[in-house]
Structure formats: C-alpha cells, structure tokens
Amino acid sequence: MYLIGIGAGALFAGPLSEAYGRNVMYLTTTFCYLLFVLGTALVKNFGGQIVCRLFVGLFAATTLTINGSSVSDQFGPLERSLTFPLIALPNVAGEY
C-alpha cells in the first residue's frame, strides 16, 4: 500500500507544487506524513494499518517527486551536476 501511495502521490505532487509553491508543499505534506506515521504506530487493527500506510506513501511522494525541481531552482547547470547526486542519494540509500 505504501508503494501504491507513492505512485498516486507523485501524480499530484508535481502540479500542486507548481501551483502553490514547493515550500508550502514540503511543509504541509511532511506534517501530514508525520501524522499518518503516528497513526500507523497507534492504530490497533489491520485495516487501519493499511489505510495509514497508503496515506504515508501518498504524502511521502512529495519529497521524492519535487526534489529534482528544487535542486534545479537553486543551482545552475554545472553546480547541479555535482549537487543533485548528493541530494538524491538519501532518497535511495535505504535500499542498500
């Protein structure tokens, strides 16, 4: 369910970050993400776990989706080629 949430959240995160701004999206979705992680820890039944994990993935997708756009806004082409791998590494470091 977490991966389904990430896939669905990516569809909304990009356009909403262009409409409302990246900082607003980072702050609101991180706050909602933390609330649903807390909900995942406190819920007592399996159905609640499934729903909370879906919403955790939905809100976690924002940082993965608009990370590249934030780097592109802050750095020029030469700096971006050096900076982006360093910023993107923590997103995939948990897989190794």
Residue 67 reports pLDDT greater than 70: yes
Nearest to 60, CA basis, from 18, 19, 94, 96: 94
**SS3 state at 44:** coil
Paired tokens of 57: 């993935």
Give me the pLDDT at residue 96, please. Answer: 57
- When pLDDT is cut at 50, 70 and 90, the band that residue 86 belongs to is confident
Give the residue from 44, 52, 60, 45 showing the smallest Cα distance to 8: 60
Per-residue DSSP letter, 45: S
pTM of the predicted model as reported, rounded to 2 decimal places: 0.81
Residue 59: name the closest of 15, 96, 12, 92 by CA: 12
Q: Where are the domains of the chain?
A: 2-95
